[in-house]
Chains A and B, each alone.
Chain A
């Protein structure tokens, strides 16, 4: 139960900067998920919070204590590792009680806490087994049990679900979230799976190349990405991007695509984009913002030649091309188009995005 602050935290390995100045304040009991592509420095950041890596520059504060010089055992944190890191020669009970023994807690208290943790995680009947005799999901629970018995200030998770199969992963995901509601604790959770990030987080931190791209609640990242990177990373299937030019035409602005078709910018957005008229931009639109429904205000229609159809059940994905760009759209499963046929698709321009093609910044930002 504590706030966690990262102030300008840097980590270099020799001349290589893995983490290049991170500023972040995590509120008490907040569930924050770090997400980003492989090698972007998520684990490094987490390990610095844990005290497993030295901090090259900056400051980490847990509660109101600067922990830069504290060893991992003194920071009052608990960590769940990707491969669980259970002690193979100890029983589940000993694994869970090990950290309590180090804190010189009385036998009765240890016993009491083990029982509570085992009940919470439904591992009561596994207490006398060795980790080698457990399934992946059970090991995962034991690893979490080891973390919760300590009642730490901060929980750290480093891709805890990536060794599980898809079904179990979804199940454990909800379970971790439920656990957090049951035992509210400041939590930092690292994953490279954006679905995990979106579903679990109070706030998501998107990292790229050792810096934070954007921090915000999942919905904000989804609707108002500050950069093309975040826009492409959050959401599945990924946002469509096309090179385009912003031109003024008639009463308003038009996004002119490579193949010559132009899409009108909704009136509400004109003021936002006005100062970029004449520039080359990257036009972005999510597959779910393209539909085959009737034209409505702010919708722009094009004739699309369908390449491929993927029915998923609740929706159908269609792939088509504009110019030489492949695009994807999520349409009503009832419409059932044939491949190689042509159908009208309308872009919901109220949900369009424009990015600077050189910096990747969103043009909607100041």
Chain B
């Protein structure tokens, strides 16, 4: 018998052209989005003068870590700010996960009076623009003596992270089939065992997504950090970047700024790549029954 073989050359010409066009356009877009990152990185490795004179060049003969060294002289030194940022991001992730996982579990798997109302109220807080409540927040933190305090800032970030995170976790737990929980109950598992051994592992993409967003949002946040922190030693990386760019006498130290941007960006990129697999699944979990 003669079985026709399907190889790429067997594809109709139109389809093949379409595929080539698709790849070309995709590459174009990828370059479009990657270029700023690549430029920042490239410029951070040039001497200051070179970076200023020739910012668009990707490679230069003079390679140096000079910019990174100069970052140490910005305020308290970049590692202090990086340390602050890490503390804040870590605190935000931990608190957000600790609150949103049980909350999402509760909303997904238990029925209690006022459930939908409470859920709507939680979701509604997402609609309030952060800027509009800066003053009351500032006053509250002042009363709590948490103003100019890293933990106070973590609380603020967690507050704004929670509605989305609870929503996310509720969907993640909702997507766990009821029969699995019933099977586990018949197997004699306690409520706690069910959460730990069955629900959480299956809802892990949701947790990864929540952690990811908590990290990105607290790591990159600028306005609240600027307003609620006044002590130079407590600043975060985004504030440091502003300090670099408006350096001494208002001259922008282009090279140092790019070095700062690179330092800020690298953890985000690494984390994103690490969690990418979970993260994409998490966003769509529960979308299709």
Distance A17 CA – B146 CA, assembled complex (angstroms): 58
Choose among B182, B188, B197 the residue with the greatest number of A CB atoms under 10 Å from its CB.
B188
User: A69-86 toward B: CB 8 Å interface, digit per residue (1/0)?
Assistant: 001111001110111011
- B157-185 Cβ-contact flags toward A at 8 Å (1 or 0): 00000000000000000000101101111
Q: What string of 1s and 0s marks CB contacts (under 8 Å) between B191-204 and chain A?
A: 00100011001100
Give chain A residues whose Cβ lies under 8 Å from the Cβ of B201.
89
Given A88-B202, A102-B193: A78 touches B186 (CB 8 Å cut-off):
yes
B22 CB to closest chain A CB, in angstroms?
30
Report how far A81 CA is from B186 CA in the complex, Å: 11
Answer whether residue B187 sits at the interface, using C-beta atoms and an 8 A cutoff.
yes
Residues in B with CB closer than 8 Å to A73 are 185-189
Query: Do B186 and A102 touch across chains, with their CB atoms under 8 A apart?
Result: no
B193 and A79 form a contact (CB under 8 A) = no
Selected from A87, A89, A99, the residue in CB contact (under 8 A) with B188 is A99
Contacts A81-B182, A85-B179, A102-B189 given; 19 further ones with Cβ under 8 A?
A: A51-B185, A72-B182, A72-B185, A73-B186, A73-B187, A73-B189, A78-B186, A79-B183, A79-B186, A81-B179, A81-B183, A82-B179, A85-B177, A85-B180, A85-B183, A87-B183, A99-B188, A103-B188, A146-B187
A267 at the interface (CB under 8 A from B): no
Cβ distance A49 to chain B, nearest Cβ, rounded Å = 11
Interface contacts (Cβ under 8 Å), in number, total 56
CA distance A78 to B179 in the complex (A): 13
Do the beta carbons of A83 and B177 come within 8 Å of each other? yes
Contacts A73-B189, A102-B189 known; A52 to B184 CB distance under 8 Å?
no
Give residues in B with beta carbon < 8 Å to A.
177, 179-180, 182-189, 193, 197-198, 201-202
B-contact bits for A195-236, CB 8 A (1 contact / 0 none): 000000000000000000000000000000000000000000
The answer to the question of A98 belonging to the interface, with a C-beta cut-off of 8 Å to chain B, is yes
Query: Is A253 on the interface with B (CB-CB < 8 A)?
Result: no
Q: Specify which chain B residues have a CB less than 8 angstroms from the CB of A81 in the assembled complex.
A: 179, 182-183
In angstroms, how far is the closest chain A Cβ from the Cβ of B216?
26
Q: Taking A83-B177, A87-B198 as contacts, is the C-beta distance between A98 and B189 under 8 angstroms? A: yes
Q: How many residues of A contact B (CB 8 A)?
A: 23
Contact partners of B186 in chain A: CB under 8 A = 50-52, 72-73, 77-79, 99
User: Complex Cα distance A74/B188, Å?
Assistant: 7
Pair A102/B182 contact, Cβ less than 8 Å = no
Chain B positions within 8 Å of A88 at CB level: 180, 202
Known: A85-B179, A88-B202. A98 touches B185 (CB 8 A): no
A82: chain B residues at CB < 8 Å are 179
* A52-B189 in contact (CB<8A): no
Can you give 22 contacting A-B residue pairs, CB < 8 Å? A50-B186, A52-B182, A52-B186, A73-B185, A73-B188, A74-B188, A78-B186, A79-B182, A83-B177, A85-B180, A85-B182, A85-B183, A87-B183, A88-B180, A89-B202, A98-B187, A99-B186, A99-B187, A102-B187, A102-B193, A146-B183, A146-B187
A158 CB to nearest B CB, Å:
9
B-side contacts of A89, CB under 8 Å: 201-202
In Å, the complex CA distance between A311 and B204 comes to 56
> Residues of A at under 8 Å CB distance from B?
50-52, 71-74, 77-79, 81-83, 85-89, 98-99, 102-103, 146
CB distance from A95 to the nearest CB of B (A): 9
| Among all A-B residue pairs, the 9 with the closest Cβ atoms | A73-B188, A99-B187, A85-B179, A102-B188, A85-B183, A89-B201, A72-B185, A72-B186, A81-B179
Q: How far is the CB of B72 from chain A (nearest CB, A)?
A: 46
A146 to B182, CA, bound (A): 14
Please give, as numbers and ranges, the residues of chain A lying within 8 Å of B189 by CB-CB distance.
Answer: 73, 98, 102
Cβ of B183: which chain A residues have Cβ within 8 Å of it? 79, 81, 85-87, 146
In the complex, which residues of chain A have a beta carbon less than 8 angstroms from the beta carbon of B197?
A: 98
B185 and A83: CB pair below 8 A? no
Chain A residues within 8 Å of B198, by CB:
87
CB distance from A40 to the nearest CB of B (A): 21
Instruction: Return the contact of B185 from the options A52, A78, A86, A103 (Cβ within 8 A).
Output: A52
Residue of A whose beta carbon sits closest to that of B187: A99
Which of chain A's residues has its CB closest to B204's CB?
Answer: A89
Residues of B within 8 A of A146 (CB): 183, 187
In whole Å, how far is A165's beta carbon from the nearest beta carbon of chain B?
A: 21
Identity of the chain B residue whose Cβ is nearest the Cβ of A89 in the assembled complex: B201
Compute how far the CA of A86 lies from the CA of B179 in the bound complex, rounded to whole angstroms. 9
Q: Which residues of B contact A50 (CB under 8 A)?
A: 182, 186
Chain A residue with the shortest CB-CB distance to B198: A87
- Taking the closest CB of chain B, its distance from the CB of A349, in whole angstroms, is 49
Interface centre among B184, B186, B193 (most CB of A within 10 A): B186
Question: What residue in chain B is nearest A100 (Cβ atoms)?
Answer: B187
Q: Please give me the residue from chain B that is nearest to A78 by CB atom.
A: B186
Chain B residues near A103: list those with CB within 8 A: 188
What distance in Å separates the Cβ of B81 from its nearest Cβ neighbour in chain A? 39
A87 neighbours in B (Cβ, 8 Å): 180, 183-184, 198
- B189 closest partner in A (C-beta): A102
A89 to B201, CA, bound (A): 7
**Residues of the B chain whose Cβ atoms lie less than 8 Å from the Cβ of A86:** 183
Nearest neighbor of A80 in chain B, beta-carbon distance:
B183
- Find chain A residues with CB under 8 A from B202 CB: 88-89
CB of A295 to closest CB in B, whole Å: 57
Q: How far is the CA of A86 from the CA of B184 in the complex (A)?
A: 10
Min C-beta distance of B192 to chain A, whole Å: 12
Which of chain A's residues has its CB closest to B186's CB? A72
Q: How far is the CA of A121 from the CA of B186 in the complex (A)?
A: 21
Q: Provide the bound-state CA to CA distance between A81 and B178, in Å.
A: 11
Q: How far is the CA of A146 from the CA of B180 in the complex (A)?
A: 13
CA A102 to CA B192, docked complex, whole Å: 12
Q: How far is the CB of B203 from chain A (nearest CB, A)?
A: 10
